[in-house]
Amino acid sequence: MGLMSMEGVAVIGAGGHAGVVIDTLLEAGFSVGGVFDDDMTRHGTEILGYEVLGPPEALRDYGLRKAIVAIGDNHTRYAMVQRFPDLEWQTVIHPDTHVHPNAQIGAGTIVMVRSVIRPNVLIGAHAIINTAAVVGHECVVEDFVHVAGSTHLGGECYIETGVFLGLGVVMVPGTRVGAWSIVGAGGAITKNVPSQVLAVGVPAQVKKSLPRRPL
């Protein structure tokens, strides 16, 4: 279970994913200090009753130091974290999950409702383990990964930095996905997937290389 925050947590990002993050924060016992987004058209609007107070830099005006990035896109989330190296990134785990006591989960990572994290799992920083995902024993999930809802990682899988696994992806035990690759919804990973590619299907096949984006 996430630790109780004694001050509000700044939620950076005001898209649809932010509502799920706010709900998870509240269920985990945190309070929300405010929502912040670069999109000026969202300023003054509300998400679950919390006002979007301004751009992310404005969180300092409210005396906020604790934060989480509520942006589903891995590249955008990475870029946002680089803008604020001095913030205290919060690890948030929904209380209705099963997380083995020896699993390690990094700063800024969020684990959504009904997820299962098995023994000896290592999850890096600023990852998203979305609703009802299963991460099997001895898996490694590196930084800035997004594991979408109902995805199932068999034991000893390795997910490199920046990977996106779409809804319902299944990984055979011991397989690996290379950095910044995308596996489309419903894909079945039966062999290793290289870095920076799009793979789809059952079994998942590489369809194209993805353009390299500046980090």
For each of the domains in the chain, give its residue range(s) and CATH number, in order of start: 9-89 (3.40.50.20), 92-207 (2.160.10.10)
Is the per-residue pLDDT at 3 higher than 60?
Answer: no
pLDDT band at residue 214 under the 50/70/90 scheme: low
Average model confidence (pLDDT) across the chain? 95
Dihedral sign from CA coordinates of 153, 165, 178, 89: negative
Distance CA 62, CA 171 (A): 43
Tens digit of each residue's pLDDT (9 = 90 or more) over 109-135: 999 999 999 999 999 999 999 999 999
| 95 — pLDDT class (breaks 50, 70, 90) | very high
d(CA 117, CA 43): 36
**Triad 174, 177, 178: Cα angle to 5°:** 135
Contact at 8 Å (CB) between 143 and 127? yes
State mean pLDDT over 36-60: 96
Task: Give residue-wise pLDDT tens across range 4-42.
Answer: 334 799 999 999 999 999 999 999 999 999 999 999 999
What's the rounded mean pLDDT across residues 85-104?
Answer: 97
Residue 152 pLDDT class (50, 70, 90 cuts): very high
pTM: 0.94
Output the 3-class SS for 145-206: CEECCCCEECCCCEECCCCEECCCCEECCCCEECCCCEECCCCEECCCECCCEEEECCCCEE
CB 161 within 8 A of CB 178: no
Q: Report CA-CA distances (Å) from 150 to 33, 43, 130.
A: 30, 33, 8
